[in-house]
Chain A
Amino acid sequence: MDRTFSLGSRGKRKAQANPIDFMAAILIFLVVFGYFMILWSMFSSRYYERADILDCELSAIAIADRLVSSGGYGPGWAAAPLGAESVGFAKKRNELDWGRIVSFASLQYGDQKRLLGTAQDFLIKIEDSDGASYIQMGQMSNSSVRSVEVTRLAMLNGRIVNLRVRVHME
Protein backbone atom coordinates (compact mmCIF):
# COMPACT_ATOMS: atom_id res chain seq x y z
CA MET A 1 0.00 0.00 0.00
CA ASP A 2 2.67 2.45 0.93
CA ARG A 3 5.60 2.83 -1.40
CA THR A 4 8.69 4.57 -0.24
CA PHE A 5 11.55 5.76 -2.33
CA SER A 6 15.04 5.68 -0.94
CA LEU A 7 17.03 8.55 -2.30
CA GLY A 8 19.99 8.66 0.00
CA SER A 9 22.97 6.42 -0.34
CA ARG A 10 22.48 5.16 3.20
CA GLY A 11 18.81 4.26 2.74
CA LYS A 12 17.28 7.28 4.52
CA ARG A 13 13.55 7.87 3.89
CA LYS A 14 13.71 11.29 2.28
CA ALA A 15 10.22 11.22 0.81
CA GLN A 16 7.36 8.94 0.14
CA ALA A 17 4.35 8.91 -2.13
CA ASN A 18 1.09 7.09 -1.59
CA PRO A 19 -1.03 6.70 -4.75
CA ILE A 20 -4.27 6.99 -2.76
CA ASP A 21 -3.05 10.18 -1.08
CA PHE A 22 -1.98 11.46 -4.47
CA MET A 23 -5.33 10.64 -6.07
CA ALA A 24 -7.14 12.23 -3.14
CA ALA A 25 -5.01 15.35 -3.49
CA ILE A 26 -5.75 15.57 -7.21
CA LEU A 27 -9.46 15.05 -6.54
CA ILE A 28 -9.55 17.76 -3.87
CA PHE A 29 -7.63 20.07 -6.16
CA LEU A 30 -10.11 19.46 -8.98
CA VAL A 31 -13.08 20.03 -6.67
CA VAL A 32 -11.60 23.30 -5.36
CA PHE A 33 -10.63 24.36 -8.86
CA GLY A 34 -14.12 23.62 -10.15
CA TYR A 35 -15.64 25.53 -7.25
CA PHE A 36 -13.32 28.42 -8.01
CA MET A 37 -14.32 28.43 -11.68
CA ILE A 38 -18.03 28.39 -10.83
CA LEU A 39 -17.61 31.24 -8.34
CA TRP A 40 -15.52 33.20 -10.80
CA SER A 41 -18.17 32.80 -13.46
CA MET A 42 -20.94 33.83 -11.06
CA PHE A 43 -18.98 36.78 -9.75
CA SER A 44 -17.93 38.11 -13.15
CA SER A 45 -21.43 37.85 -14.62
CA ARG A 46 -22.87 39.56 -11.55
CA TYR A 47 -20.20 42.21 -11.75
CA TYR A 48 -21.02 43.11 -15.36
CA GLU A 49 -24.73 43.08 -14.67
CA ARG A 50 -24.22 45.25 -11.59
CA ALA A 51 -22.02 47.66 -13.53
CA ASP A 52 -24.80 48.11 -16.11
CA ILE A 53 -27.38 48.76 -13.39
CA LEU A 54 -25.13 51.27 -11.60
CA ASP A 55 -24.43 53.03 -14.87
CA CYS A 56 -28.15 53.25 -15.46
CA GLU A 57 -28.79 54.48 -11.92
CA LEU A 58 -26.12 57.14 -12.17
CA SER A 59 -27.62 58.34 -15.43
CA ALA A 60 -31.10 58.55 -13.84
CA ILE A 61 -29.74 60.41 -10.79
CA ALA A 62 -27.88 62.91 -13.00
CA ILE A 63 -30.91 63.57 -15.23
CA ALA A 64 -33.29 63.99 -12.30
CA ASP A 65 -30.85 66.27 -10.50
CA ARG A 66 -30.43 68.48 -13.56
CA LEU A 67 -34.18 68.71 -14.15
CA VAL A 68 -35.06 69.87 -10.61
CA SER A 69 -31.99 72.05 -10.05
CA SER A 70 -31.31 73.75 -13.36
CA GLY A 71 -33.33 75.94 -15.67
CA GLY A 72 -31.47 74.73 -18.73
CA TYR A 73 -28.97 76.51 -20.89
CA GLY A 74 -29.37 78.35 -24.15
CA PRO A 75 -30.89 81.82 -24.66
CA GLY A 76 -34.68 81.51 -24.38
CA TRP A 77 -34.57 77.80 -24.97
CA ALA A 78 -38.12 77.28 -23.75
CA ALA A 79 -39.38 79.33 -26.71
CA ALA A 80 -37.16 77.49 -29.20
CA PRO A 81 -36.25 74.19 -27.55
CA LEU A 82 -34.31 72.85 -30.53
CA GLY A 83 -31.73 75.56 -29.89
CA ALA A 84 -31.20 74.52 -26.27
CA GLU A 85 -27.78 73.29 -25.19
CA SER A 86 -29.06 71.58 -22.07
CA VAL A 87 -32.46 71.32 -20.41
CA GLY A 88 -33.75 71.84 -16.92
CA PHE A 89 -37.26 72.39 -15.61
CA ALA A 90 -36.47 74.59 -12.59
CA LYS A 91 -37.05 78.29 -12.32
CA LYS A 92 -35.59 78.01 -8.82
CA ARG A 93 -34.13 74.96 -7.13
CA ASN A 94 -36.97 72.45 -6.47
CA GLU A 95 -39.46 74.75 -8.16
CA LEU A 96 -40.54 73.58 -11.60
CA ASP A 97 -41.66 75.75 -14.47
CA TRP A 98 -44.56 74.36 -16.47
CA GLY A 99 -43.54 76.32 -19.59
CA ARG A 100 -40.15 74.61 -19.71
CA ILE A 101 -41.73 71.20 -19.14
CA VAL A 102 -44.23 71.62 -21.98
CA SER A 103 -41.53 72.96 -24.25
CA PHE A 104 -39.33 69.92 -23.65
CA ALA A 105 -42.30 67.58 -24.04
CA SER A 106 -43.02 69.04 -27.48
CA LEU A 107 -39.68 67.79 -28.83
CA GLN A 108 -39.14 64.58 -30.75
CA TYR A 109 -37.87 61.68 -28.65
CA GLY A 110 -34.45 61.71 -30.34
CA ASP A 111 -34.00 65.41 -29.57
CA GLN A 112 -35.06 64.84 -25.98
CA LYS A 113 -32.39 62.15 -25.61
CA ARG A 114 -29.77 64.40 -27.15
CA LEU A 115 -30.61 67.28 -24.81
CA LEU A 116 -30.58 65.02 -21.77
CA GLY A 117 -27.24 63.64 -22.89
CA THR A 118 -28.22 60.01 -22.62
CA ALA A 119 -28.13 57.16 -25.09
CA GLN A 120 -30.47 55.06 -22.99
CA ASP A 121 -34.23 54.97 -23.27
CA PHE A 122 -35.96 57.01 -20.60
CA LEU A 123 -39.35 57.91 -19.24
CA ILE A 124 -40.04 61.06 -17.20
CA LYS A 125 -43.25 61.37 -15.23
CA ILE A 126 -44.50 64.23 -13.12
CA GLU A 127 -47.26 63.25 -10.74
CA ASP A 128 -48.72 64.36 -7.44
CA SER A 129 -48.37 62.50 -4.17
CA ASP A 130 -51.49 60.44 -4.90
CA GLY A 131 -50.09 59.24 -8.21
CA ALA A 132 -52.20 61.43 -10.51
CA SER A 133 -50.11 62.20 -13.58
CA TYR A 134 -49.52 65.74 -14.82
CA ILE A 135 -47.37 64.85 -17.80
CA GLN A 136 -45.25 62.05 -19.20
CA MET A 137 -42.26 62.36 -21.52
CA GLY A 138 -39.97 59.90 -23.26
CA GLN A 139 -40.91 56.32 -23.97
CA MET A 140 -40.63 52.82 -22.61
CA SER A 141 -37.88 50.67 -24.04
CA ASN A 142 -38.93 48.10 -26.62
CA SER A 143 -36.01 45.80 -25.98
CA SER A 144 -35.16 46.15 -22.29
CA VAL A 145 -37.36 45.19 -19.39
CA ARG A 146 -34.84 46.25 -16.77
CA SER A 147 -34.82 49.83 -15.59
CA VAL A 148 -33.86 52.09 -12.71
CA GLU A 149 -36.15 54.78 -11.37
CA VAL A 150 -35.20 57.86 -9.37
CA THR A 151 -37.75 60.10 -7.68
CA ARG A 152 -37.24 63.74 -6.75
CA LEU A 153 -39.61 66.10 -4.99
CA ALA A 154 -40.35 69.58 -6.26
CA MET A 155 -43.04 72.26 -6.38
CA LEU A 156 -45.15 72.81 -9.47
CA ASN A 157 -47.72 75.61 -9.49
CA GLY A 158 -47.78 75.65 -5.69
CA ARG A 159 -48.23 71.88 -5.28
CA ILE A 160 -45.75 69.23 -4.22
CA VAL A 161 -45.05 66.83 -7.08
CA ASN A 162 -42.90 63.77 -7.67
CA LEU A 163 -40.61 63.91 -10.65
CA ARG A 164 -39.79 60.34 -11.63
CA VAL A 165 -37.02 59.52 -14.07
CA ARG A 166 -36.82 55.96 -15.31
CA VAL A 167 -33.83 54.91 -17.37
CA HIS A 168 -33.79 51.57 -19.19
CA MET A 169 -30.77 49.37 -19.49
CA GLU A 170 -29.42 49.02 -23.00
Chain B
Amino acid sequence: MAEKTVAGGFKGFVFSLDAILAVSVMIIFIVASFILIAKSSVDPYANLQTVRLERDLLAVMEKSGAFDRLDGGEIEDAIEYSLPHGSEFYFSMETYMYANGTFVMASFDRRGQQPPGSVSVYGARRDIVTKRGAEMEYTVARLWIW
Protein backbone atom coordinates (compact mmCIF):
# COMPACT_ATOMS: atom_id res chain seq x y z
CA MET B 1 0.00 0.00 0.00
CA ALA B 2 1.04 3.60 -0.41
CA GLU B 3 3.25 5.00 2.28
CA LYS B 4 4.05 8.63 2.72
CA THR B 5 7.28 9.62 4.35
CA VAL B 6 8.13 13.04 5.57
CA ALA B 7 11.40 14.22 4.24
CA GLY B 8 13.93 15.68 6.64
CA GLY B 9 14.76 12.79 8.92
CA PHE B 10 11.30 12.04 10.33
CA LYS B 11 10.00 8.77 9.03
CA GLY B 12 7.20 6.43 10.04
CA PHE B 13 4.17 8.60 9.52
CA VAL B 14 1.79 6.09 8.04
CA PHE B 15 -1.69 6.87 6.83
CA SER B 16 -2.74 4.31 4.34
CA LEU B 17 -5.83 2.38 3.31
CA ASP B 18 -4.78 -0.33 5.73
CA ALA B 19 -5.04 2.04 8.65
CA ILE B 20 -8.42 3.37 7.52
CA LEU B 21 -9.72 -0.17 7.17
CA ALA B 22 -8.40 -1.15 10.57
CA VAL B 23 -9.93 1.89 12.27
CA SER B 24 -13.27 1.31 10.49
CA VAL B 25 -13.41 -2.32 11.61
CA MET B 26 -12.56 -1.32 15.16
CA ILE B 27 -15.26 1.39 15.23
CA ILE B 28 -17.85 -1.05 13.84
CA PHE B 29 -16.86 -3.58 16.47
CA ILE B 30 -17.07 -1.09 19.33
CA VAL B 31 -20.47 0.25 18.20
CA ALA B 32 -21.84 -3.29 17.73
CA SER B 33 -20.68 -4.35 21.18
CA PHE B 34 -22.32 -1.32 22.78
CA ILE B 35 -25.59 -2.02 20.92
CA LEU B 36 -25.54 -5.64 22.09
CA ILE B 37 -24.91 -4.65 25.69
CA ALA B 38 -27.68 -2.03 25.56
CA LYS B 39 -30.12 -4.54 24.06
CA SER B 40 -29.40 -7.09 26.75
CA SER B 41 -31.09 -4.86 29.32
CA VAL B 42 -34.39 -4.56 27.41
CA ASP B 43 -37.26 -6.56 28.91
CA PRO B 44 -39.04 -8.45 26.10
CA TYR B 45 -42.01 -9.31 28.35
CA ALA B 46 -42.76 -5.76 29.48
CA ASN B 47 -45.29 -5.12 26.71
CA LEU B 48 -46.88 -8.51 27.25
CA GLN B 49 -47.41 -7.71 30.90
CA THR B 50 -48.80 -4.25 30.14
CA VAL B 51 -51.36 -5.65 27.70
CA ARG B 52 -52.47 -8.19 30.29
CA LEU B 53 -52.86 -5.41 32.84
CA GLU B 54 -54.96 -3.38 30.38
CA ARG B 55 -57.20 -6.36 29.69
CA ASP B 56 -57.54 -7.04 33.42
CA LEU B 57 -58.44 -3.41 34.07
CA LEU B 58 -61.15 -3.35 31.38
CA ALA B 59 -62.52 -6.68 32.63
CA VAL B 60 -62.70 -5.70 36.30
CA MET B 61 -64.21 -2.33 35.41
CA GLU B 62 -66.97 -4.08 33.51
CA LYS B 63 -67.53 -6.56 36.36
CA SER B 64 -67.56 -3.79 38.97
CA GLY B 65 -70.16 -1.83 37.02
CA ALA B 66 -68.00 1.06 35.85
CA PHE B 67 -69.36 0.67 32.33
CA ASP B 68 -73.01 0.51 33.40
CA ARG B 69 -73.73 4.17 32.69
CA LEU B 70 -70.93 4.69 30.16
CA ASP B 71 -70.03 7.86 31.99
CA GLY B 72 -66.53 9.00 30.92
CA GLY B 73 -65.76 10.73 34.22
CA GLU B 74 -66.76 7.70 36.25
CA ILE B 75 -64.66 5.41 34.05
CA GLU B 76 -61.66 7.74 34.33
CA ASP B 77 -61.92 7.64 38.14
CA ALA B 78 -62.11 3.83 38.04
CA ILE B 79 -59.00 3.62 35.87
CA GLU B 80 -57.04 6.01 38.07
CA TYR B 81 -58.04 4.04 41.16
CA SER B 82 -56.56 0.79 39.84
CA LEU B 83 -53.72 2.15 37.74
CA PRO B 84 -50.21 1.23 38.96
CA HIS B 85 -48.32 4.14 40.50
CA GLY B 86 -46.30 6.13 37.99
CA SER B 87 -48.25 4.88 34.97
CA GLU B 88 -50.12 6.99 32.45
CA PHE B 89 -53.14 5.99 30.42
CA TYR B 90 -55.22 6.91 27.44
CA PHE B 91 -58.79 5.67 27.18
CA SER B 92 -61.26 5.99 24.34
CA MET B 93 -64.85 4.86 24.10
CA GLU B 94 -67.06 4.77 21.02
CA THR B 95 -70.76 4.07 21.42
CA TYR B 96 -73.00 3.02 18.56
CA MET B 97 -76.80 2.84 18.59
CA TYR B 98 -78.49 0.09 16.70
CA ALA B 99 -81.40 1.50 14.74
CA ASN B 100 -83.13 0.41 11.56
CA GLY B 101 -80.70 -2.42 11.02
CA THR B 102 -77.54 -0.32 11.18
CA PHE B 103 -75.14 0.93 13.83
CA VAL B 104 -74.85 4.70 14.08
CA MET B 105 -72.16 6.34 16.18
CA ALA B 106 -73.83 8.06 19.11
CA SER B 107 -70.88 9.31 21.11
CA PHE B 108 -67.13 9.34 21.35
CA ASP B 109 -65.27 10.01 24.56
CA ARG B 110 -61.56 10.08 25.35
CA ARG B 111 -59.76 10.41 28.66
CA GLY B 112 -56.16 10.63 29.80
CA GLN B 113 -53.36 11.86 27.63
CA GLN B 114 -52.11 10.77 24.24
CA PRO B 115 -49.17 8.35 24.40
CA PRO B 116 -45.84 10.06 23.68
CA GLY B 117 -44.46 9.38 20.24
CA SER B 118 -41.16 8.18 21.65
CA VAL B 119 -42.53 4.96 23.20
CA SER B 120 -44.26 1.92 21.71
CA VAL B 121 -47.60 1.41 23.42
CA TYR B 122 -49.85 -1.60 22.99
CA GLY B 123 -53.54 -1.28 23.81
CA ALA B 124 -56.38 -3.56 24.83
CA ARG B 125 -59.97 -3.49 23.62
CA ARG B 126 -63.23 -4.62 25.13
CA ASP B 127 -66.59 -4.71 23.39
CA ILE B 128 -69.67 -4.09 25.50
CA VAL B 129 -73.27 -4.59 24.40
CA THR B 130 -75.96 -2.90 26.48
CA LYS B 131 -79.68 -3.33 26.07
CA ARG B 132 -81.82 -0.44 27.29
CA GLY B 133 -85.45 -1.29 26.73
CA ALA B 134 -85.88 -1.80 23.02
CA GLU B 135 -82.63 -0.01 22.21
CA MET B 136 -79.30 -1.68 21.91
CA GLU B 137 -75.95 0.04 22.37
CA TYR B 138 -72.65 -1.29 21.21
CA THR B 139 -69.58 0.19 22.88
CA VAL B 140 -65.95 -0.27 21.99
CA ALA B 141 -63.62 0.60 24.88
CA ARG B 142 -59.88 0.90 24.27
CA LEU B 143 -57.19 1.40 26.88
CA TRP B 144 -53.47 2.12 26.59
CA ILE B 145 -51.13 2.15 29.58
CA TRP B 146 -47.44 3.07 29.59
Interface residue ranges, A against B (CB under 8 Å):
1-2, 16, 18, 20-21, 28, 32, 35-36, 39, 42-43, 46-47, 50, 54, 57-58, 61, 65, 68, 93-95, 129, 150-155, 158, 160
Contacts and interface: CB of A to CB of B under 8 A. Distances in A.
A21 B13 CA distance: 9
Interface stretch (B52-60, B67-75, B105-113, B129-137): B52-60
Interface residues of B, number: 30
Given A54-B45, A65-B52, A160-B82, A155 B12 contact: no
A39 B56 contact: no
Contacts of B36: 43
Interface string B64-97: 1000000000000000011010000000000000
Nearest 7 interchain pairs by C-beta? A153-B56, A94-B59, A39-B33, A2-B11, A155-B63, A153-B60, A160-B60
A46 B56 contact: no
Given A57-B43, A57-B45, A68-B56, A43 B33 contact: yes
Contact of B57 (A16, A36, A153): A153
Contacts of A39: 33, 37
Interface of B: 3, 5, 11-12, 14, 22, 26, 29-30, 33, 36-37, 40-41, 43-45, 48-49, 52-53, 56-57, 59-60, 63-64, 81-82, 84
A57 to B, nearest CB: 5
B16 to A, nearest CB: 11
A47 B81 contact: no
A110 to B, nearest CB: 28
Given A2-B12, A21-B14, A94 B60 contact: yes
Contacts of A150: 49
Contacts of A42: 37
Given A57-B45, A58-B45, A151 B53 contact: yes
9 contacts: A2-B11, A28-B22, A43-B37, A54-B43, A152-B53, A153-B59, A153-B60, A160-B64, A160-B82
A55 to B, nearest CB: 11
A142 B22 CA distance: 52
Given A39-B33, A94-B63, 19 more contacts: A18-B11, A32-B26, A42-B37, A43-B33, A43-B36, A46-B40, A46-B41, A57-B43, A57-B45, A61-B48, A61-B52, A93-B59, A129-B81, A129-B82, A154-B56, A155-B60, A160-B60, A160-B64, A160-B81
Nearest to B78: A160
A65 B48 CA distance: 12
A50 B45 contact: no
Given A21-B12, A58-B45, A46 B59 contact: no
